[in-house]
């Protein structure tokens, strides 16, 4: 039962994260699929890091900042070095932050409940 509730919490958190990402990264053309990819990737990475031994002792804001900076910043750095195939965008880093913070909210809720 606990695993089912955890799966529901993760799904709900992902949905909330994506909706928040929509609000943060909306532009005249709408939200691009790329923003959803960034938010989802950081959400999953953040959930994984939050339960890994070395990162478990970190504060939630530290893990979220680490994920946003390393994963999001690293991806955007890569994009800036390959302008013919990719484009660097601050909106992508905002979407990364939304995914990471949403995951930390789900982790907090999970540990507070059980």
Q: Considering only CA atoms, which of 110, 95, 91 is closest in space to residue 11?
A: 110
Place of tokens 């928040």: 20
The string of pLDDT tens digits covering residues 36-55 is: 888 888 998 998 888 888 88
The residue range of the domain holding 108 is 2-113
Q: Concatenated DSSP letters for 36-101?
A: HHHHHHHHHHHHHHHTSHHHHTS-HHHHHHHHIIIIIHHHHHHHHH-TTT----HHHHHHHHHHHH
* pTM greater than the 0.85 cutoff: no
Structural domain tally of the chain?
A: 1
Task: Categorise residue 30: left if φ over 0, alpha if ψ from -120 to 50, beta otherwise.
Answer: left
State pLDDT tens for residues 65-85: 999 999 999 999 999 999 998
């Amino acid at each position: 039962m606990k695993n089912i509730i955890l799966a529901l919490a993760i799904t709900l958190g992902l949905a909330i994260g994506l909706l928040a990402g929509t609000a943060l990264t909306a532009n005249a053309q709408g939200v691009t699929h790329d923003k959803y990819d960034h938010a989802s990737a950081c959400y999953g990475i953040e959930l994984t890091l939050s339960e890994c031994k070395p990162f478990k002792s970190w504060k939630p804001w530290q893990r979220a900042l680490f994920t946003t900076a390393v994963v999001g910043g690293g991806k955007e750095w890569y994009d800036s070095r390959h302008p013919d195939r990719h484009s660097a965008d601050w909106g992508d880093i905002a979407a990364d932050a939304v995914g990471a913070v949403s995951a930390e909210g789900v982790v907090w809720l999970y540990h507070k409940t059980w």
